[in-house]
Amino acid sequence: MTRSTCPSILSVVGARPNFMKIAPLMRAFDASEAPLESCLVHTGQHYDAAMKAAFFDQLGIPEPDIDLGVGSASHAVQTAEIMKRFEPVLDERRPDAVLVVGDVNSTIACALVAVKKGVPVVHVEAGLRSRDRSMPEEINRVLTDQLSELLFTTERSAEANLVAEGIARERIHFVGNVMIDTLRMHLERAIPPEQTLSGIGQADRWLDAAAGFGVLTLHRPSNVDDANVLRRLVDTLIGVADRVPLVFPMHPRTRGRLAETGLDTRLAQGRILVTEPLGYLELLGMMSRARLVLTDSGGLQEETTALGVPCITLRENTERPITVEQGTNTIVGTDPARILGAVDEVLTTGGKQGRVPELWDGRAAVRIRDRLLAWAGVLSEPDQATG
């Protein structure tokens, strides 16, 4: 692409996992010395006033130029509704490219509309693969990459995944991890655990200087929608909490499933402090001081690696293998013996030390911006060694 005028990028954000990724991109676009027009569309896939304060305001994400207000629904209904509401925006704005991040329904929905309209798609966080097609996010990742003109990767192994799927190497650019841009920028502002827990009257009980504490998150359908799996996990996590107390910011989906099965009462018997979902700065403060993190989230696997905090992932696979190969992550699935063994290993030895992966240096968003400007013919080509 070659232009003589200001290129326009329409960026899409839709759900909580997107917010930490879009924030550094919007900041880099706004700080560009070269002409660049940026528009932010919030699909409303996940949205409420408390979440806006906890993420948009804390991370400095600007007010969306357009809010589609889609809301929650089944995967099919939600994806279709996003497409219906996004198409008129694309027709009106006529951007030079649509930028999507991650792997949520908004990502694939807006990419489909754009490519059918002949608008190039830019995918940030491309090429990650779990090899598990039962995960809706895996379907979204694979299809979005096939639709994209420019694919920005967080780890070098992602390029091999994309090439194996027939994507030309010249469309793939290794730039680092925008989520780590956000972490590095805000780490000094992270809210201390004692402040967060004092706000709910639990600091004295849960901040045991000798034992420390762990952080738990759990939300994936494979873990919470099957009552037998959820029961096994609850019993195992109570056993974990006998070893180290856990702070559990609970996802609404998980809260509903626990209530439906009556397991919420069982969970309350353990040393597990259940809280409402935490804001970014509150959760960052918790993770940075935790002895370990147990999670089925993808993003937390990366954040714990960047923080050097042992992570125990309650899944059978990961689309972020670098967190295992180089970082602090251990995959254990839902087997009680593996979970408890991994916890005991961390408490005994301190767990995996790991190292921060290549280009997780806080400048991924700047590399993406400069590559986009080069693609648009506004800047010269960036150094190939860095994307």
The answer to whether 122 touches 372, Cβ cutoff 8 Å, is: yes
Amino acid of residue 353: Q
Contacts of 81 (CB under 8 A, 6+ apart): 70, 73
Q: Output the six-digit token pair for 248.
A: 């559990």
Q: Which helix (H) or strand (E) holds 137?
A: helix 136-147
What would you report as the CA-atom Rg of the chain, rounded to the nearest whole angstrom? 21
Residue 9 forms beta bridges with which residues? 38, 97
Amino acid of residue 281: L
The answer to whether 301 touches 206, Cβ cutoff 8 Å, is: no
Q: Output the six-digit token pair for 367.
A: 């590399």
The answer to whether 41 touches 26, Cβ cutoff 8 Å, is: no
Amino acid of residue 381: E
Burial 18-30 (b: 16+ CB within 10 A, else e): bbbbbbbbbbbbe
For 312, which DSSP code? E
> Catalytic: which of 42, 46, 173, 219?
219
The answer to whether 162 touches 126, Cβ cutoff 8 Å, is: yes
Catalytic residue check, 186:
no
Residue 172 forms beta bridges with which residues? 151
The CA distance from 237 to 333, in Å, is: 13
Q: Strands of 329-331's sheet, edge to edge? A: 272-275, 246-249, 214-216, 292-295, 311-313, 329-331
Kindly provide the residue ranges of all beta strands, DSSP E only, lying in the chain, ordered along the sequence. 8-13, 37-42, 66-67, 97-101, 121-124, 150-153, 172-174, 214-216, 246-249, 272-275, 292-295, 311-313, 329-331
Amino acid of residue 183: L
Residue 269 CB neighbour total at 10 angstroms? 10
The CA distance from 295 to 220, in Å, is: 10
Task: Give the residue numbers annotated as catalytic, written as ranges.
Answer: 219
